[in-house]
Structure 1
Amino acid sequence: MAPERLAHVTGAARHPRDVSASTDNGAVPLYRDEAIVLRTQKLGEADRIVTLLTRRLGKVRVVGKGVRRTKSRFGSRLEPGMHIDVQCYEGRTLDTVTQVETLDPWGDAIARDYPSYTAATAVLETCDRLTEEREPALQQYLLLAGAVRSLAGREHDPNLVLDAYLLRALAVAGWAPSFHDCAKCGAPGPHRGFHVVAGGAVCPSCRPPGSAAPAPETLLLLSALLAGDWAIADASDLHHRREGSGLTAAFLQWHIERGIRSLRMVER
């Protein structure tokens, strides 16, 4: 799926400012990019290591000097979920933040609503797992921007936004599930069987032992979330949402081979 299509589906923010150009300030190489904060961790007494997903460079880890002090110029801008324009200079091990401007205060808006906050935490952790440092990931960036923006704006149920993001992010990573045709032989669906290891829906001939048998409405909901059909998703029944969330979580954790700790906090 083209990045432009992803931006349309997710509602990812676009800004006229060109933040992709690198500069060289004498002997200190500088770069500037648009980014979303994925996570932070303490460093020393007043610093933080901040993990960013940037639009141009992919995932980077940078140091925010003194950002834990109350008088920090941009400490609040380097919180998870914030959409920023950041300038850094390259170091031997970690780059250092020199300037930050807020593009969208999504993190602040999300922190005011617990369901949105827990969903956003799972979104950010999943993105961190699915991306590699210094590997450009524009499609993942656009998906992340759309999901966090939607959570901040309360556009849809947070659980639906979370599941939509998880399914699309897995698809971009190369693990697109099938919710209609058989994932093994391609037989036209719909099919009642669903097997995580097989890749999704399975026909009676390919159905392995232990396959789940979700309601047809659940598979329709998951297909709508993957395609971005919010009219169907928003009209779905709570029971089918819960069943779909279980299938989505199982599919995610099978393919990334590690659990997403933040999912435990999400109220399903």
Structure 2
Amino acid sequence: MATYRDVGIVLRTHKLGETDRIVTMLTRGRGEIRAVAKGVRRTKSKFGARLEPGMIVDLQCYEGRSLDTVTQAEIIAPYGERLTRDYSAFTAATAMLETAERLIEEREAVPQQFNLLAGGLASLAHREHDPGLVLDSYLVRAVAIAGWAPSFVDCAGCGATGPHRAFNLASGGAVCYSCRTPGSSAPHPETFLLLAALLTGDWDTADASSPGARKEASGLVAAYVQWHLERGVRSLRLVDRAPSSLERTR
């Protein structure tokens, strides 16, 4: 069997037998992989703590028919450990990891998705911005990379120059008066500005946004992502939108 090395972000783990785990990871070069980590649930395991959700690791594995096997794992970034210290950041990270797993095909390398998730986890771990903003920015960028880029300024239907006042999930975001269909919503103009900032990485605008705009934007982002995934992201229901420790100390 072939042996390979790659860098991976641990997305999820679940138990296998009495001492092993199956680890689902997003890797830079191979996309999503599922591998058995043998003996990691033993107290004397050499790398059990390295293969927890949110950790970025340098992996060595060998290929199997259905599951690969982890033979070595070295920590590159211990984000999983850091994120557990802030509940808002932890719940945001959990939703990001679940979304990444839903978006990526097994064995399909998408370096942009890997880099986006790694950057989002780093931002959460280092408390650079409000966790809710980091999550929403990750979500809109992730679906854009997957081919469902939303428009928050010009009309998603006809391309008419914006800004516009209506938002429609099926159409792909902002819509003009002519393209507006039943079921469209009318977000506040500040919400559209925030959504556009989250998509483009304009953090000055995002950080200066009001609580009302953030709440409305997060609802639209969650609806947009789940519309295109065609199923719910369970972790989004658990996201703590209360001020993080970073925001409370400002």
Q: TM-score range by the shorter chain?
A: over 0.9
Q: Deviations over 1:8-55 (max 9, x none)?
A: xxxxxxxxxxxxxxxxxxxx4210011110000110111000001111
Residue type matched to 2:29 in 1? R
Structure 2: gaps spanning 5 or more residues = 242-250
Q: In the alignment, which residue of structure 1 is the partner of 2:231? A: 258
Q: Deviations over 1:199-245 (max 9, x none)?
A: 10010111001210000100000000000000000000010000000
1 CA distance for matches of 2:240 and 2:74? 33
Residue 180 (structure 1) aligned to one of 153, 156, 161:
153
Task: Verify: 1:140 aligned to 2:116, yes or no.
Answer: no
2 CA distance for matches of 1:183 and 1:89? 45
Give the paired residue count: 241
1:121 deviates by: 0.2
Q: Deviations over 1:41-95 (max 9, x none)?
A: 1101110000011111111000000101111100000000001001011122211
Residue type matched to 2:192 in 1? L
Runs of 4+ with >2 A deviation: none
- TM-score, with normalisation over the residues of structure 2? 0.95
Task: Verify: 1:80 aligned to 2:53, yes or no.
Answer: yes
Residue type matched to 1:116 in 2? A
Residue 222 (structure 2) aligned to one of 243, 249, 265:
249
2 CA distance for matches of 1:145 and 1:131? 14
Question: Could you say what secondary structure the match of 2:2 adopts?
Answer: strand
1 CA distance for matches of 2:120 and 2:100? 11
Question: Could you say what secondary structure the match of 2:132 adopts?
Answer: helix
Q: Percent identity?
A: 67
1 CA distance for matches of 2:202 and 2:41? 42
Residue type matched to 2:27 in 1? T
Q: In the alignment, which residue of structure 1 is the partner of 2:246? A: none
Question: Could you say what secondary structure the match of 2:129 adopts?
Answer: coil
1 CA distance for matches of 2:234 and 2:77? 26
Question: Could you say what secondary structure the match of 2:209 adopts?
Answer: coil
Q: In the alignment, which residue of structure 1 is the partner of 2:177? A: 204
